[in-house]
């Protein structure tokens, strides 16, 4: 195709949220002349591939992240880390065990490809470039981060496990997770941020080791200033952390306008 395509694999990005210091592992970052493709590859079989359902259930019965939602988080973290407009970044989920995937998902500029249309889909995405941008600086940074990501897989897996645990503990009555993975929340007492506390001492502080609500929000400044903000979930009917006001990444990044869908890659 006569194009320069640069590929970075297993890039781990660090970010902060109400879940604490977190990592996002991006399977593939494909940089072309005018766009960036963030790819998530899955070689798993799921009970359903309902795009909007969070999480998905594997045939083994275990639950796992919906790869579409997961990749959407990756894109948000990527765009906020590098200050890249969302319209420049296309997300693609490669479901290797599936064919005939429904192409577009619920998100703008997001495609789900299966083993039958993976190659064709990528070619279509590459071929439609109208301009040439300079992503050299970005690629230099990605090269460094890619190298530094080697050996961090276990840390990332542990990190994900913790997030999933907190998500399960903080399901709302209508079965949704209370916070998005990229949400932050301000401390009501100081200029710090609220982060989940779920280690054994929280159970102790909550007074009941068997309490299922063994999770609370504390202040990120606690180790420095001793700020003792400590917010426990309300026990009156499962609407935990109702009074906490979260700040979405869209607001922080001033992505106030809905992301525009660009291109018409698949007709
Ligand atoms: Zn505080």
**104 and 184 share a domain?**
no
**126 and 51 share a domain?**
yes
Distance between Cα 146 and ligand 1 center (Å): 35
Task: Tell me the pLDDT tens digit for each residue of 235-251.
Answer: 654 446 888 999 999 99
Q: What is the overall mean pLDDT for the chain?
A: 88
Q: Which two tokens stand for residue 166?
A: 């907190």
Domain-located, residue 264: no
Domain-located, residue 266: no
Distance between Cα 218 and ligand 1 center (Å): 8
Distance between Cα 226 and ligand 1 center (Å): 8
- State the burial class of residue 220 (Cβ atoms within 10 Å of its Cβ: 0-12, 13-18, 19+): buried
Distance between Cα 42 and ligand 1 center (Å): 40
Domain-located, residue 33: yes
In degrees, rounded to 5, the angle at the alpha carbon of residue 254 between the alpha carbons of residues 248 and 259 is 85
Residue partners of 118: CB distance under 8 A and separation at least 6:
94, 96
Total domains, the chain: 2
Task: Tell me the pLDDT tens digit for each residue of 164-216.
Answer: 988 888 887 777 888 999 999 999 999 999 999 876 666 566 565 555 557 88
Distance between Cα 208 and ligand 1 center (Å): 24
Distance between Cα 225 and ligand 1 center (Å): 8
Domain-located, residue 160: no
> At 9, which helix (H) or strand (E)?
strand 6-17
Share of the chain above pLDDT 70, in %: 90
Please tell me the pTM assigned to this model.
0.89
Angstrom CA distances, 252 to 31, 91, 172, stand at 25, 21, 24
Q: Which two tokens stand for residue 222?
A: 């606690």
Q: Which of 108, 124, 154 is the last residue of a domain?
A: 154
Angstrom CA distances, 97 to 41, 48, 114, 186, 199, stand at 10, 13, 7, 42, 38
More confident residue, 26 or 52: 26
**208 and 109 share a domain?**
no
Distance between Cα 80 and ligand 1 center (Å): 25
Residue partners of 147: CB distance under 8 A and separation at least 6:
none
Distance between Cα 86 and ligand 1 center (Å): 32
Domain-located, residue 259: no
**Across the strands, what pairs with 57?**
63
Q: What is the rounded distance in angstroms from the CA atom of residue 238 to the CA atom of residue 34?
A: 47
Distance between Cα 181 and ligand 1 center (Å): 21
Of 61, 65, 85, nearest in space to 75 by CA: 85
User: Is residue 119 within 8 Å of residue 113, measured between CB atoms?
Assistant: no
**149 and 189 share a domain?**
no
**127 and 83 share a domain?**
yes
Distance between Cα 229 and ligand 1 center (Å): 5
Distance between Cα 243 and ligand 1 center (Å): 16
Distance between Cα 20 and ligand 1 center (Å): 14
Q: How many CB atoms lie within 10 A of CB 84?
A: 15
Does 161 score more than 60 pLDDT? yes
Distance between Cα 219 and ligand 1 center (Å): 5
**127 and 87 share a domain?**
yes
Distance between Cα 199 and ligand 1 center (Å): 19
Domain hosting 80: range is 6-154
């Amino acid at each position: 195709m006569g194009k320069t395509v640069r590929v970075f694999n297993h890039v781990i990005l660090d970010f902060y949220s109400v879940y604490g210091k977190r990592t996002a592992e991006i399977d593939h970052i494909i940089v072309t002349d005018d766009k960036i493709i963030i790819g998530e590859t899955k070689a798993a079989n799921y009970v359903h591939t309902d795009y909007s359902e969070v999480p998905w259930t594997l045939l083994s019965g275990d639950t796992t992240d919906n790869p579409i939602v997961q990749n959407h988080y990756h894109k948000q973290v990527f765009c906020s880390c590098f200050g890249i407009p969302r319209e420049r970044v296309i997300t693609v989920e490669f479901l290797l065990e599936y064919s005939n995937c429904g192409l577009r998902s619920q998100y703008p500029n997001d495609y789900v490809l299966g083993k039958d249309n993976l190659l064709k889909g990528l070619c279509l995405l590459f071929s439609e470039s109208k301009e040439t941008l300079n992503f050299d600086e970005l690629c230099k940074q990605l090269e460094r981060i890619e190298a530094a990501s080697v050996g961090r897989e276990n840390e990332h897996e542990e990190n994900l496990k913790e997030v999933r645990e907190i998500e399960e503990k903080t399901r709302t009555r209508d079965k949704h997770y209370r916070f998005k993975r990229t949400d932050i929340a301000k401390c009501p007492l100081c200029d710090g941020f609220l982060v989940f506390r779920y280690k054994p001492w929280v159970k102790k502080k909550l007074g009941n080791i068997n309490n299922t609500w063994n999770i609370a929000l504390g202040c990120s400044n606690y180790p420095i200033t001793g700020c003792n903000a400590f917010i426990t979930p309300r026990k009156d009917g499962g609407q935990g952390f109702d009074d906490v006001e979260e700040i979405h990444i869209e607001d922080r990044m001033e992505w106030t306008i809905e992301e525009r869908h660009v291109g018409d890659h698949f007709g």
